[in-house]
């Protein structure tokens, strides 16, 4: 009989890239079968491990019986078909166990970052850059994850970030707990397909439960939106900054029509990071902010009122032929002629720009040569035109949406109808940083054109600025979730505990195997309040026991309270899913319904995929 052993610690470390190939070869891995499939199963867990020789494999096979060559007969002898079938039955169990172990290792790695008292992670990238973050998607995206099933949890966090924008840590932690529950069910003899299908039905019931305890909201209720944004920011480095939550709410509401909006395009909100000052110095600008400064080398203006803005994608410099040519100048008269022709060419271009009534010129950055030379800048200065050069290619679309201008690729196409309008364009100097601000934009069709806003984020260093940008993005995603599905849930693990209580009660009415699977699913969802309590330094057993008792009495808005150091009401008493309830109150710990439903659905789908894998084959 082939003995199969697995070392959970080695698999977990390899999943997060913590082992070198030599360490992996020396660690305990599943003993491979003598067949080709056995060799694949023996090396499935670590892509960096080299295949062992045939002699080494044969020496590790332990056979039982009088046939000492049973390993070789298992490859092709029909007489040992039953023995081979037994080995094939053992292999999927080893593969499934290793997959679950690797995925749970990833979930455990970021579990300490969940909640308002969660820790941050410092990540050093391959380029030598340092990232300090509390965001689950950012942590997993920049971690070195090798195991294929562990990478599925990285993709899970990314999917949650795309769908909801928040809850990326929660969805991975829930998936890890569900995998642990599935592993215990597998050890009791349940089939993986039975478990996965039962989990899927439990997930649908969980979503229905969340919808039943949610509270509808109106986007006109600004205080409700602020509480949801503040809950998202509570676990971030910038949680103590009072300006970020109102800034995120206002930024989203300014870009949509709250009455009929069904989604939010966050590309209409631009965040400009400028080192200097503190986070409280950040500001929301109803207009456009450019990182580039106005060109002053030729003495040009830095402030223009009643601006007419043009964006060009061609160079304001003497033309160059497509082919390499060499010009030989014999005397000074020929040199004067060349210079005169260049001056005439550039002057005519500047006059044509001025003739179109343009007084603010934005020039796209060119990778071939200088987009504008000093002589062109001199002519534009004489004509009173403010010039901003080196506009990046990826900024062009946002600038066009913000100002109403159209990009111009040729001087012959430079006409007045392609210009944008604004009340003021000026260069701003604030706390040691300089940038160009465009305010009072007048769009040609304000009803149909998308509205844009800009946020100037300030901070002491680039690390703080990067985390402030991620935090603002998460807060805006929370408001976007409320636009897509206008309902709130009590936070602090109250939603997960309510679902756990509902599933546990429903499990008593189900037949086998749904009864045992639903109970395991319900117990797994308690990982959220348990983790919140542990990360806050509370007694998780006491907190979860009290929550379980109060939820059994119908208090579905009770969650982990950091302020009280135990259990508290997340909304007003008698609210959050109870009769006569409302969301606007209490400790104000609220979260969008879409974040929780998306997390449960995506986590269940990922667990189902992992459970249905029984082999990993190496490609050619």
Q: Among all residues, which ones are annotated catalytic?
A: 135, 168-169, 474
The DSSP 8-state label assigned to residue 527 in this structure reads H
The Cα 393–Cα 573 span in angstroms is: 53
Q: Write the DSSP string, 601-615.
A: HHHHHHHHHHHT---
Tell me the β-bridge partners of 124: 130
Which residue bears the tokens 């429903």? Answer: 506
Q: Which of 234, 300, 313 is nearest to 563 (CA)?
A: 234
Q: Which of 480, 49, 41 is nearest to 228 (CA)?
A: 480
**3-class secondary structure, 204:** helix
Tell me the β-bridge partners of 591: 489
Q: What share of the chain is helix, strand, coil (3-state, %, to 5)?
A: 50, 15, 35
Q: Which of 392, 423, 395 is nearest to 309 (CA)?
A: 423
| Helices and strands (H, E) in the chain, number of each type | 21, 17
Sorted by sequence, the CB contacts under 8 Å of residue 104 that are 6+ apart come out as 12, 176, 179, 180
Backbone angles phi, psi at 328, to 5 degrees: -105, 120
Q: Which two tokens stand for residue 225?
A: 């939106």
Whether cis (ω within 30° of 0) applies to the bond prior to 513 is yes
Backbone angles phi, psi at 411, to 5 degrees: -65, -30
The Cα 443–Cα 130 span in angstroms is: 41
Chain centre distance of CA 280:
24
Backbone angles phi, psi at 445, to 5 degrees: -125, 80
The DSSP 8-state label assigned to residue 552 in this structure reads H
User: What region, left, alpha or beta, does residue 189 occupy, with left being phi > 0 and alpha being psi -120 to 50 degrees?
Assistant: left
The Cα 150–Cα 131 span in angstroms is: 21
The DSSP 8-state label assigned to residue 32 in this structure reads P
């Amino acid at each position: 009989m082939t003995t199969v052993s697995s070392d959970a610690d080695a698999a977990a470390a390899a999943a997060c890239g913590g082992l070198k190939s030599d360490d992996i070869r020396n660690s305990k891995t599943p003993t491979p079968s003598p067949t080709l499939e056995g060799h694949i199963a023996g090396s499935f867990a670590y892509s960096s491990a080299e295949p062992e020789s045939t002699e080494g494999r044969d020496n590790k096979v332990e056979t039982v019986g009088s046939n000492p060559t049973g390993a070789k007969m298992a490859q092709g002898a029909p007489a040992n078909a039953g023995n081979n079938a037994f080995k094939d039955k053992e292999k999927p169990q080893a593969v499934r166990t290793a997959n679950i172990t690797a995925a749970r290792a990833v979930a455990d790695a970021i579990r300490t970052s969940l909640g308002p008292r969660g820790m941050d992670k410092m990540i050093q990238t391959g380029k030598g850059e340092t990232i300090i973050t509390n965001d689950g998607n950012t942590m997993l995206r920049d971690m070195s994850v090798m195991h294929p099933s562990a990478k599925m949890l990285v993709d899970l966090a990314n999917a949650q970030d795309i769908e909801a924008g928040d809850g990326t840590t929660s969805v991975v932690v829930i998936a890890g707990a569900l995998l642990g529950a599935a592993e215990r069910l597998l050890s009791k003899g349940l089939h993986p397909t039975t478990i996965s299908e039962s989990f899927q039905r439990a997930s649908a019931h969980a979503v229905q439960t969340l919808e039943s305890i949610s509270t509808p909201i109106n986007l006109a209720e600004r205080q409700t939106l602020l509480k949801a944004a503040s809950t998202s920011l509570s676990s971030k480095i910038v949680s103590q900054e009072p300006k970020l939550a109102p800034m995120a709410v206002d930024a989203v509401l300014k870009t949509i029509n709250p009455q009929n909006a069904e989604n939010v395009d966050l590309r209409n909100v631009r965040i400009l990071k400028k080192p200097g000052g503190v986070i409280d110095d950040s500001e929301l600008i109803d207009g456009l902010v450019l990182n580039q400064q106005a060109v002053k080398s030729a003495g040009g203006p830095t402030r223009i009122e009643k601006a007419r803005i043009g964006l060009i994608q061609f160079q304001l410099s003497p033309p160059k032929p497509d082919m390499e040519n060499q010009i030989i100048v014999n005397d000074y008269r020929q040199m004067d002629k060349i210079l005169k022709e260049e001056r005439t060419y550039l002057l005519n271009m500047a006059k044509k720009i001025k003739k179109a009534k343009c007084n603010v010129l934005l020039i796209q950055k060119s990778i071939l040569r200088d987009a504008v030379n000093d002589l062109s800048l001199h002519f534009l200065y004489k004509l009173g035109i403010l010039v901003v050069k080196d506009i990046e290619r990826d900024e062009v679309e946002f600038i066009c949406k913000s100002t109403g201008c159209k990009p111009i690729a040729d001087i012959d196409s430079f006409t007045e109808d392609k210009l944008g309008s604004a009340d003021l364009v000026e260069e701003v100097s604030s706390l040691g940083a300089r940038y160009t601000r465009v305010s009072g934009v007048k769009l040609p069709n304000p009803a149909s054109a998308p509205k844009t806003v800009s946020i100037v984020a300030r901070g002491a260093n680039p690390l703080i600025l990067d985390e402030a940008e991620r935090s603002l993005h998460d807060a805006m995603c929370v408001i976007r979730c409320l636009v897509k599905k206008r309902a709130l849930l009590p936070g602090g693990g109250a939603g997960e505990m309510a679902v756990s209580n509902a599933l546990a009660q429903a499990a008593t009415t189900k037949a086998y195997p749904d009864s045992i699977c639903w109970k395991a699913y319900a117990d797994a969802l308690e990982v959220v309040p348990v983790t919140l309590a542990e990360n806050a330094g509370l007694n998780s057993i006491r907190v979860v026991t009290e929550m379980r008792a109060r939820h059994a009495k119908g208090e579905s808005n009770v969650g982990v309270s950091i302020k009280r150091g135990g259990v508290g009401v997340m909304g007003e008493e008698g609210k959050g899913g109870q009769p006569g309830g409302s969301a606007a109150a209490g400790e104000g710990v609220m979260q969008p319904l879409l974040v929780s439903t998306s997390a449960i659905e995506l986590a269940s789908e990922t667990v189902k995929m992992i459970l249905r894998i029984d082999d990993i084959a190496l490609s050619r």
